[in-house]
Amino acid sequence: MKPLSNSRKYPPYAKTLLDRRRFKNLPWLVAVCVGGDAWKSAKVRNGRSDSVALVLPAGNSPTAYVWPVQGCLVVIEWTQPAPESLIIELVRALLIAGAELVTVWPRWVDFNQSAVEYDVSLPPGERLVQVRESIRVYHPPRREVAHAA
């Protein structure tokens, strides 16, 4: 697979995934590491053979890269200080690139703490308020299916 144009290139560590794709040996998971620990996390993941990690370098837009994730399950390992808007842009780019599923994992979150709190000052039906990030899973848009009558 070659990048689509001269202005877009593959993200760091993509060669491993491209080689595995060429030999029809896709990993069970592709991690895209973002934020302060991105390079360290990707290096550790790429030291194992069960998954492949890519990096979105700090200060770069996800649309600056060609993401070779078609047909792959992807997890975004999100560490601070990467902003939420960047993560949303990355999710879109990965789904457009053909990822089967994209999971966002905010690494700094203590998942032993509740994600929501009950606020009695709000009207009924709106009283659960999100108080921390949670793991989110995104699927590609469903394609229309022809219905048989």
The model's pLDDT over 48-86, given as tens digits with 9 standing for 90+, comes to: 888 999 999 999 999 999 999 999 999 999 999 999 999
| Residue 3 falls inside a structural domain | no
Per DSSP, the three-state class of 95 is helix
Do the beta carbons of residue 14 and residue 52 sit within 8 Å? no
| Residue 105 falls inside a structural domain | yes
Tokens of 2: 């070659």
Position 110 scores a pLDDT of 76
| Residue 8 falls inside a structural domain | no
| Residue 147 falls inside a structural domain | no
**pTM for the structure as a whole:** 0.81
- Residues 29 and 77: their CA atoms lie apart, in Å, by 12
Position 108 scores a pLDDT of 84
Position 146 scores a pLDDT of 55
> DSSP alpha helices (H): ranges in the chain?
14-22, 38-46, 84-96
Q: Please state the domain count of the chain.
A: 1
Residues of the domain holding 74: 14-138
pLDDT in tens, 110-120: 777 766 677 77
